Structure 1
Amino acid sequence: MTTAGRHSTGTRQRRDASAAGTAGAAGPELPPAAAVAAFLRAHPEFLADHPDLYRTLDPPKRVHGERMADHMAAMLSAERRRVRGLEADMDAALNAERAGNGLTIRVRLAVLALMRCGDVPEAVTQEMPALLGIETCTLLSEAPDRRGVVGLGRGAAARLLPPGRDAAVRAAPTDAELIHQEAAPLVKRDALVRVPVWTGHPTLLALGARDPNALPAKQSTANLAFLGRAVAAALAR
């Protein structure tokens, strides 16, 4: 073989080796179409068990008979289920955000009422329910020191609102008669808020709502905790 021929052969070999290396770097070799078809024939339930694959497949045309039409219907059904799920998640997130924003505004109005009031327990029980859009507001303490504050037994505050939590929204209120008294039959959801009074006596603010949307479970604890601190500041005046 001439020098030119050897040079040409070497160049082709290096080019072929480079192409092979590039193909190997691209990832594992995929099975041929015949192997995929054979696998699906051997496992006819595979697509039904993996409906997410329908999202990546191109839909067949309805000119190949009912089996092809059923296959396309399955793909469309899987995609519609996915879209409905996304829409439901989006609606839930938007509703939670709206409810949280609404509570933020109502809490601000309640804080303004506390700033101008002369009798804090009276403002809590008489003004705050309407401002917060709920049925009842109650101040509770294990050592009540003024009229309008409901007494709690020793250790009751920690049982109702465990230490380390400043606020909690409860979808299934317990001790409703103790907390909400005569308004208890109206309360479908409530919230308990820690009031960090300067005396250190365990004190809570209880909010009761007929409409669960008035006390959203999400995006509300920070606002309620702020309201509890505002009540404590008003009590310290």
Structure 2
Amino acid sequence: MDTVQKLVSGFSLDLGPLKEPLGFIRVLEWVFTIFAFATTGGYSGTSHFTVKCPGSQDTHNVKTEFFYPFRLPAKPYELPICNGTQFNVTYLQGDFSSSAEFFVSVGVFGFLYCTATLILYLGYQNVYRQTTRGPIIDLVVTAAFAFLWLVSSSAWGKGLTDVKWATNPEHLVDQCKDICAPGEFPSMGRLNASVIFGFLNLILWAGNVWFIYKETPFHKDPNQPTTMEEGGAPGP
């Protein structure tokens, strides 16, 4: 209870850091991180192709659905069997959940970290700057997230390419190309945007490393007044 009271009493809202690169870039990171994981998580798409049996006027429309986290064999679809009324239950092939879930996890944890540091910047700026520990920890964590965005965005970009191939109607009709025809390709614009947002986050987090570095004791201000040379006489 005493800790909570100290935190509340120490809170002092100051929007000044938002005018500086340190706070402004953090807000951009917060926004683009949300875009990154929101455009990936919750996605669902549908591939279409048609089946027309020889000697029949009937055309069967086949739809196969897939969704985040892109374990494609998770949901079966029915493929008509010619010369009969039965349907062959089959599945999409490929499990690309690891890269998708890794990408979304980086986004969610990045969002939480941005939220926490924005509260620190705007409400506890004096606490952040009064010791060197805060900026140093911030520098290390931000650099780690920049690396994670590089790895996760690259992995998810490769995973998305594989998802597109596995759900491409032209690929799906290979198993029945004599009687099947490809249909509408699933909309992938949202997933393409997620990869773009991932690499934008990489640029933002990597760029912010420099501005946080300037808050640490490792950075020497070039405008800092020079001290009197050893053995020299003081100026007038």
Q: TM-score scaled to structure 2, two decimals?
A: 0.22
Q: Which has the larger radius of gyration?
A: 1
Q: TM-score scaled to structure 1, two decimals?
A: 0.22
Higher RCO (Cα < 8 Å, 6 or more apart): 2
